[in-house]
Amino acid sequence: MSTLESKLEAIVGTAHLLTDPDVLVGWATDWTGRDRGAARAVVRPGDADQIAEVLNVCRASGAPVTIHGGGTSLVSGTVPRRGDVLLSTSRLTEVGAVDPTHKCVRVGAGTKLQTLRSLAAEHGLLFGVDLSARDSATIGGMVATNAGGLHTIRYGRTSEQMRGLEAVLPDGSIIKRFPRVPDDRSGLDLASLFVGSEGVLGVVTAVEVALRPRPRHRVTALAGFAALEDLVAAAVCLRDVPGVDALELLDGEGVRLASDRLGLACPVKAEWLLLAELASDREQLVELAELLAAAEVVEEPAISQDSVGRAKLWQVRESFAEVTKLFGPPTKFDLSLNFESVAPFAADAAALLAEQAPDAIPVLFGHIGVGNLHLNVLRCPDPSRVFGPMLDLIAEHGGNISSEHGLGSLKRDYLSLARSPEEIAAMRSVKRAFDPDGYLNSAVLFPTASE
């Protein structure tokens, strides 16, 4: 065992230092299974003090470090590129007591999203962010990418749930920013710098999040549309309705695949489907039905306000997580568009794929209420033929190439499609201020050309 590994073992203990090559392969492979890097070791510290020691040892040894949360990154955000030490937050799972007065709770960065959501439910509250990867995604990773998800239209992103955090900086120092009062404008908002930073500024170790009152009534509907333009028009109308909680676009092709390959029973058949949910302290079933009746739907929408019926409608949306895996790892695009650009982009994307990957199957879905969408290209044997051109197409339509997943290492060289040279230079300056040695999460976010 080398000197570095011996020092790491002394910090965390033998059980929490992994060096077996066969084990490291799994840790160094991305969520889709398509991208694989090489890790020198995996270290699993138990608290912020141990993380500070680990970082100091690695920095002194010149060993690059990549932070590993739930491993759910879809842009290779945790794939080590230089034989990195993978720093896992899996042991940072301490959960504090829920504060019923201020409606908040402090949790470790390694806490799973579903754990937090279940805890909130036990107190009659909810956490405003929900993702399909709720059983694996960690709170620290959600802060790093500023995750949005299924209820962004109502509660906003992770940044809007965060009240404070603890983080270990690249030099080993620890900052704790948990304001004791709701409004504190005493200087720079350091905590907000870590939101969406993809781990390049430090290791988030604990987060205090706001919890929300749980609405007493929910009603969910699934409506079909012949044209994407009609669905978008309906979503634009619904997004301003009081109590709107979710508006999800579903590609009819994805629903057909779920029906044919997964045995899913979908009550609505159409080229495009809209899953809409309203939630408040009053019943809104009639209101939602009337709103959809005024839209250009192709048949009677399926509507339910009981938990069993609503779960069946949500199952259509949840099935897309499995649909995207039917033909092996998909080529994923995570984008944000203005409403008027959604239909034209979908048409141009289909044309691009017909030319460059004629056997591919595009599946478009996502959070149409805020314009954040996911295009998954299935059965695409050579992603390189479509990846760059598709990102260019997103930019041509005035969209952003990363709405929720971040850039990771997969899209870092396309940052100029989203940010100006001046913005990139400013972000690099912030990175250098926090991490002058450039050893922490060095493979993500920033383009390689200027390194």
What average pLDDT does range 325-341 have in this prediction?
96
Q: How many CA atoms lie within 13 A of 298 on its CB side?
A: 17
Please indicate, yes or no, whether residues 78 and 130 belong to a single structural domain of this protein.
no
What average pLDDT does range 43-47 have in this prediction?
98
At 185, is the pLDDT very low, low, confident or very high (cuts 50, 70, 90)? confident
**What percent of the chain stands above pLDDT 90?**
93
CATH assignment of the domain containing 124: 3.30.465.10
At 1, is the pLDDT very low, low, confident or very high (cuts 50, 70, 90)? low
Predicted local distance difference test score (pLDDT) of residue 208: 98
Asked if the model's pLDDT at residue 165 lies above 90, the reply is yes
Predicted local distance difference test score (pLDDT) of residue 33: 83
At 94, is the pLDDT very low, low, confident or very high (cuts 50, 70, 90)? very high
Predicted local distance difference test score (pLDDT) of residue 321: 93
The closest of 205, 116, 128 to 165, measured between CA atoms, is: 205
Predicted local distance difference test score (pLDDT) of residue 182: 75
Residue 341 located in a structural domain: yes
At 108, is the pLDDT very low, low, confident or very high (cuts 50, 70, 90)? very high
The closest of 339, 388, 345, 386 to 364, measured between CA atoms, is: 345
* Cβ atoms of residues 51 and 11 within 8 Å: no
From CA 53, how far away is CA 426, in angstroms rounded? Answer: 29
Residue 32 located in a structural domain: yes
Please indicate, yes or no, whether residues 34 and 76 belong to a single structural domain of this protein.
yes
* Cβ atoms of residues 377 and 360 within 8 Å: yes
CATH assignment of the domain containing 19: 3.30.43.10
Please indicate, yes or no, whether residues 262 and 286 belong to a single structural domain of this protein.
yes
Predicted local distance difference test score (pLDDT) of residue 449: 53
Please indicate, yes or no, whether residues 313 and 227 belong to a single structural domain of this protein.
yes
CATH assignment of the domain containing 375: 3.30.70.2740
Predicted local distance difference test score (pLDDT) of residue 187: 87
The domain tally of the chain equals: 4
Asked if the model's pLDDT at residue 264 lies above 50, the reply is yes
User: What average pLDDT is seen over the chain?
Assistant: 95
What average pLDDT does range 353-359 have in this prediction?
97
Residue 188 located in a structural domain: yes
Q: Which helix (H) or strand (E) holds 249?
A: strand 244-251
E strands of 313-360, at which residues?
331-336
What residue spans of 126-182 are helical by DSSP H? 139-145, 152-155
CATH assignment of the domain containing 300: 3.30.70.2190
At 369, is the pLDDT very low, low, confident or very high (cuts 50, 70, 90)? very high
Q: Of 189, 213, 237, which one is at a domain's C-terminal end?
A: 213
**What percent of the chain stands above pLDDT 70?**
99
Residue 375's domain comprises: 327-436
Please indicate, yes or no, whether residues 202 and 120 belong to a single structural domain of this protein.
yes
Please indicate, yes or no, whether residues 135 and 81 belong to a single structural domain of this protein.
no
Query: With helix as H, strand as E and coil as C, how does 21-47 read?
Result: HHHHHHHCECCCCCCECCEEEEECCCC
Asked if the model's pLDDT at residue 450 lies above 60, the reply is no
Please indicate, yes or no, whether residues 341 and 407 belong to a single structural domain of this protein.
yes
- Please state which of the ranges 70-74, 172-176, 427-431 shows the lowest mean pLDDT: 70-74
CA distances (Å), origin 421, targets 37, 181, 261, 324, 417: 29, 38, 46, 35, 10
Please indicate, yes or no, whether residues 221 and 306 belong to a single structural domain of this protein.
yes
Residue range 389-425, pLDDT digits in tens: 999 999 999 999 999 999 999 999 999 999 999 999 9
What average pLDDT does range 215-234 have in this prediction?
98
Please indicate, yes or no, whether residues 132 and 208 belong to a single structural domain of this protein.
yes
Residue 448 located in a structural domain: no
Predicted local distance difference test score (pLDDT) of residue 32: 81
Residue 36 located in a structural domain: yes
Please indicate, yes or no, whether residues 174 and 240 belong to a single structural domain of this protein.
no
What average pLDDT does range 74-102 have in this prediction?
95
Residue 308 located in a structural domain: yes
Residue 186 located in a structural domain: yes
Q: Of 69, 88, 107, which one is at a domain's C-terminal end?
A: 88
* Cβ atoms of residues 375 and 335 within 8 Å: yes
Q: Of 299, 318, 337, which one is at a domain's C-terminal end?
A: 318
Predicted local distance difference test score (pLDDT) of residue 248: 98
pTM of the model: 0.94
Q: Which helix (H) or strand (E) holds 450?
A: none
Residue range 5-40, pLDDT digits in tens: 999 999 999 999 999 999 999 999 988 888 899 999
More confident residue, 177 or 183: 177
Please indicate, yes or no, whether residues 172 and 247 belong to a single structural domain of this protein.
no
The closest of 138, 94, 144, 100 to 117, measured between CA atoms, is: 138
From CA 277, how far away is CA 247, in angstroms rounded? Answer: 7
Asked if the model's pLDDT at residue 66 lies above 60, the reply is yes
* Cβ atoms of residues 321 and 365 within 8 Å: no
From CA 260, how far away is CA 237, in angstroms rounded? Answer: 32
Asked if the model's pLDDT at residue 451 lies above 80, the reply is no
Asked if the model's pLDDT at residue 54 lies above 60, the reply is yes
Residue 376 located in a structural domain: yes
From CA 427, how far away is CA 206, in angstroms rounded? Answer: 24
Please indicate, yes or no, whether residues 207 and 99 belong to a single structural domain of this protein.
yes
- The backbone torsions φ and ψ at residue 364, rounded to the nearest 5 degrees and listed phi first, read -110, 130
What average pLDDT does range 157-184 have in this prediction?
93
* Cβ atoms of residues 68 and 29 within 8 Å: no
What type of residue sits at position 79? V
